[in-house]
């Protein structure tokens, strides 16, 4: 007889769980035979006693199988099904760029993205700033657009990995979110349910990262690579810097503008380009579309320079209900915030440190993110022209430009941004954009 409390007891006592134990427990989470208290106790036991790689694989697969698993073989796609996932950051709009780039190189990218969480921006909120864009089509429409366009970015659906949603909600209120084993299963169960053939993981490091240290970021990367490959999903992790915003802007419609400028070649910020290329190149290699990352980068740059990547983005937006001319005329569709104010550097010097998390929270304070899940978002607000680490500024020189709904919100943000920047008399050592690759 299956007794959920016995599974909790075994993990409480640091015993290994069998595949049957884990499958039964996850099944009970979905059908309601496992109570919220038992899920909470299980999560805390895992937090303190961890899981082996085999247990993590079983836990991930059980969550994947708790709902629908997308099948792509019957659609006869002429290329591999690939995706990228990030642990979240500020000014990180790589999904909007690399999805169309990979699609232009022969990949198919069914990207199921999340909303903003805490200080980090969400790809879904950025796309929701586009008038008419449907972030929640039915699965049939989603698969059709992926087949026809090569790329579709939508929100999480109720059909995929429903066990994860219940587990995550309980972890969120029981101080067990930080468990690497459970983070791994949460991320990979949804990616496996999407029917992927290859996954590039972007693990952030720095003051704006989810993980608190470089060592913990490496630990998460190693776990995701080992469990992903153990579950039959070719997975590579790239550790990238989040000691400063990745793009020179943060905010939903502002990042859509930045994405369009990047794809069309109007502006391609160097660090954003380096990280986007690194992740997209590994996607192509995982999918067998390139022999190595050098070959992959050449193909990706060609897709940008020819306009093929911008065309894929435009087709995706149009197919999901957005304006057909967004790429050609973004000003026609993306509104501006009414208050635009520069932030003056409080003193002269080289930018020595940026509290990236504080900048993300400043965007939330402006209304560009959520304090509570039910909050509505102001898509037009945010920050642009952010000065980077290592740059020299004069006192009074702008270090950012605030886009706000009202003057009071803008004035509050000025102090937050000035506090987030630290200055020194000599130029600091700037961290690399890409630290290492784990595969």
Task: Please check whether residue 114 is in contact with residue 156, taking contact to mean a CB–CB distance below 8 angstroms.
Answer: yes
* Structure tokens given for 95: 């999904």
423 vs 245: CA distance, rounded Å = 17
Q: Print the SS3 string covering 355-373.
A: CHHHHHHHHHHHHHCCCCC
SS3 120: strand
Which entry of 11, 191, 257, 271 is annotated as an active-site residue?
191
Catalytic site includes residue 171: yes
Q: Is 265 left (phi over 0), alpha (psi -120 to 50) or beta?
A: left
Catalytic site includes residue 50: no
Catalytic site includes residue 336: no
Pairing between β-strand 109-113 and β-strand 349-354 as defined by DSSP bridges: unpaired
Which entry of 123, 184, 207, 223 is annotated as an active-site residue?
123
Which entry of 11, 56, 64, 85 is annotated as an active-site residue?
85
Which entry of 186, 189, 264, 276 is annotated as an active-site residue?
186
Catalytic site includes residue 11: no
Which entry of 11, 21, 65, 86 is annotated as an active-site residue?
86
Which entry of 11, 84, 115, 403 is annotated as an active-site residue?
84
The radius of gyration of the chain's CA atoms, rounded to the nearest angstrom, is 22
Catalytic site includes residue 27: no
Catalytic site includes residue 186: yes
Which entry of 56, 115, 126, 190 is annotated as an active-site residue?
190
362 vs 357: CA distance, rounded Å = 9
Task: Please check whether residue 39 is in contact with residue 170, taking contact to mean a CB–CB distance below 8 angstroms.
Answer: yes
* Structure tokens given for 309: 């990547």
Catalytic site includes residue 216: no
In the chain, % helix, strand, coil (3-state, to 5) comes to 45, 15, 35
Which entry of 65, 83, 92, 355 is annotated as an active-site residue?
83
Could you list the active site residues? Answer: 83-86, 123, 171, 186, 190-191
């Amino acid at each position: 007889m299956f007794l959920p409390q016995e599974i909790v007891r075994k993990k409480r006592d640091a015993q290994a769980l069998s595949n049957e134990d884990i499958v039964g427990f996850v099944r009970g989470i979905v059908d309601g035979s496992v109570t919220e208290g038992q899920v909470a106790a299980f999560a805390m036991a895992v937090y303190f006693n961890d899981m082996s790689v085999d247990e993590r694989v079983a836990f991930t697969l059980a969550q994947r199988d708790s709902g629908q698993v997308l099948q792509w073989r019957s659609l006869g796609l002429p290329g591999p099904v690939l995706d990228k996932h990030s642990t979240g950051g500020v000014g990180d709009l790589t999904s909007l760029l690399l999805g169309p780039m990979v699609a232009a190189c022969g990949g198919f990218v069914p990207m199921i993205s999340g909303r903003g969480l805490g200080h980090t921006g969400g790809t879904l909120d950025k796309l929701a700033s586009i008038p008419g864009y449907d972030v929640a089509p039915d699965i049939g429409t989603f698969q059709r657009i992926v087949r026809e366009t090569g790329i579709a970015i939508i929100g999480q659906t109720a059909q995929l990995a429903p066990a994860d949603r219940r587990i995550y909600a309980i972890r969120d209120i029981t101080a067990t979110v930080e468990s690497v084993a459970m983070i791994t299963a949460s991320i990979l169960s949804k990616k496996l349910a999407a029917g992927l053939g290859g996954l590039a993981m972007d693990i952030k490091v720095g003051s704006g990262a989810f993980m608190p240290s470089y060592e913990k970021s490496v630990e998460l990367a190693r776990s995701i690579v080992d469990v992903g490959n153990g579950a039959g999903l070719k997975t590579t992790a790239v550790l990238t810097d989040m000691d400063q915003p990745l793009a020179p802007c943060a905010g939903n419609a502002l990042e859509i503008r930045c994405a369009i400028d990047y794809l069309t070649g109007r502006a391609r910020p160097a660090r954003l380009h380096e990280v986007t290329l690194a992740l997209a190149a590994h996607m192509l290699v995982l999918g067998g579309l390139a022999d190595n990352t050098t070959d992959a980068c050449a193909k990706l740059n060609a897709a940008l320079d020819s306009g093929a990547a911008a065309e894929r983005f435009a087709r995706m937006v149009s197919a999901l209900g957005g304006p057909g001319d967004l790429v050609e005329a973004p000003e026609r569709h993306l509104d501006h915030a009414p208050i635009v104010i520069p932030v003056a550097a409080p003193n002269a010097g080289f930018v020595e440190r940026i509290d990236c998390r504080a900048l993300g929270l400043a965007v939330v304070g402006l209304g560009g993110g959520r304090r509570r899940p039910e909050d509505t978002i102001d898509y037009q607000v945010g920050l642009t022209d952010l000065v980077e680490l290592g740059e020299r500024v004069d006192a009074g020189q702008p270090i950012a430009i605030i886009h706000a709904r009202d003057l009071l919100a803008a004035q509050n943000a000025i102090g937050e941004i000035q506090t987030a920047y630290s200055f020194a008399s000599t130029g600091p050592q700037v961290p690399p954009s890409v630290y290492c690759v784990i595969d």
